[in-house]
Amino acid sequence: MKLLGTSLGKATWLLAVIILIVAVVFNYFDDSPSVKYTSMAEDLKSLEETFRHQNKSCFILGASGETGRMLLQELLERNIFSKITLIGRRQLTFEDKAYENLVQEVVDFEKLDDYAAVFKGHDVGYCCLGTTRAKAGADGFVRVDHDYVLKSAELAKAGGCSQFHLESSRGADKTSNFLYLKVKGEVEAEIEALGFDRLAIYRPGVLLVDRQESRPGEWVIRKFFGAVSAVCSTSMAIPIQAVAKAIVSNTLLQPEQKTEILENKDITSLGKSKAK
């Protein structure tokens, strides 16, 4: 028993040392934020005011998911849109009064062309849609993370949407040999080619969240990066609240370029900024 206790103690110390080393290494190699803005995050309060008075509308794809749910909560709290539409495959129920003015549109993602009207007349579109290969198989993953996402963006653009915010992933790269990263990179490029007035692509690392759905493999990775992130912020992982805050704050800012790619560090830094 005593031997077991000593071994466990040693293992804990070893794990703590590994976490510390990984944190230091990641921090050393992290790039500084890469997106430049003409307006600064310090002005958030007045930017929120100005934005609010423009009576804009937005839609969210994936509002039933972890990021989408948090994004919706953040948008409602900051109250910057006069109308929010949730587009999803099922009707969602909310108990809080704050959610009572939402519009919900239930669509069949296999027949999105039949729902073109649902995508009409929104100023801003947010996409937090996605599945996993483990859940949907390789074809199902491509169907959701590429086909549904791209078709939705096309319909939104055709419907007059000028600003599109896409939650992609760290490492997205259309030339990658990994299906996940390749698909993410491809869809980023194809949406960029649609020519939105503004396209914001978010590439978060591992999302730190107590996920409602059980994903054992992801759980282990999350716990490890959660511990590393507690020591210092890295380019590898990010709390989901920070992603939602960053997306909303970024909506208010004016980037210098038409397409922005926000890497994990950019999202982390924007996710910390608050309206004063």
Ligand X SMILES: NC(=O)c1ccc[n+]([C@@H]2O[C@H](COP(=O)([O-])OP(=O)(O)OC[C@H]3O[C@@H](n4cnc5c(N)ncnc54)[C@H](OP(=O)(O)O)[C@@H]3O)[C@@H](O)[C@H]2O)c1
Residue whose CB is less far from ligand X, 67 or 163: 67
Least separation in angstroms between residue 230's CB and ligand X is: 17
Helix, coil or strand: residue 139: helix
Contacts with ligand X, 160-199, as mask; x by CB under 6 A:
-------x-x------------------------------
* Distance of closest approach, residue 138 Cβ to ligand X, in angstroms: 14
171's torsion region: left (phi>0), alpha (psi -120 to 50) or beta?
left
Per CB under 6 A, does 129 bind ligand X? yes
String marking each residue 27-56 x if it binds ligand X according to CB under 6 A: ------------------------------
Q: How far is the CB of 89 from ligand X (least distance, A)?
A: 4
Q: Does 204 bind ligand X (CB under 6 A)?
A: yes
How far apart are alpha carbons 126 and 57 in whole angstroms? 11
Per the annotation, the verdict on 151 as an active-site residue is no
Q: Please tell me whether residue 66 binds ligand X under the rule CB under 6 A.
A: yes
Q: Which is nearer to ligand X, 36 or 111 (CB)?
A: 111
Which residues, listed in sequence order, are joined to residue 83 by a DSSP beta bridge? 57
Decide: is 89 part of the binding site for ligand X (CB under 6 A).
yes
User: Which residue lies nearer to ligand X by CB, 89 or 198?
Assistant: 89
Between CA 111 and CA 193, with CA 248 as vertex, the angle to 5 degrees is 50
Query: Would you call 126 helix, strand, or coil by DSSP?
Result: strand
Measured CA to CA, the distance from residue 235 to residue 265 in angstroms comes to 6
Among residues 184, 202, 245, 265, which one is catalytic? 184
Q: How far apart are CA 138 and CA 142, in angstroms?
A: 6
Inter-residue contact 74 to 100 (CB < 8 Å):
no
Closer Cβ to ligand X, 44 or 127, answer by number:
127
Residues in region 220-249 near ligand X by CB under 6 A: none
Q: Which residue is nearest to ligand X (CB)?
A: 65
Q: Which of the following is catalytic: 99, 151, 180, 182?
A: 180
CA distance 265 to 64: 26
Sign of the C-alpha dihedral, residues 95, 99, 101, 105? negative
Part in contact with ligand X (CB under 6 A); list of ranges 42-50, 51-59, 123-131, 253-261: 123-131
Active site residue 184: yes
Which one among 26, 48, 59, 67 touches ligand X, defined by CB under 6 A?
A: 67
DSSP conformation class of 39: S
Which DSSP helix (H) or strand (E) runs through 163? strand 163-167
Q: What angle do CA 181, 187, 188 make, to 5 degrees?
A: 85
Among 26, 51, 59, 109, binds ligand X (CB under 6 A): 109
Q: How far is CA 101 from CA 89, 157, 162, in A?
A: 19, 24, 23
Which sequence positions are flagged as catalytic? Answer: 180, 184
Summarize as ranges the residues that interact with ligand X (CB under 6 A). Answer: 62, 64-68, 88-90, 109, 128-131, 144-145, 167, 169, 204, 206-207
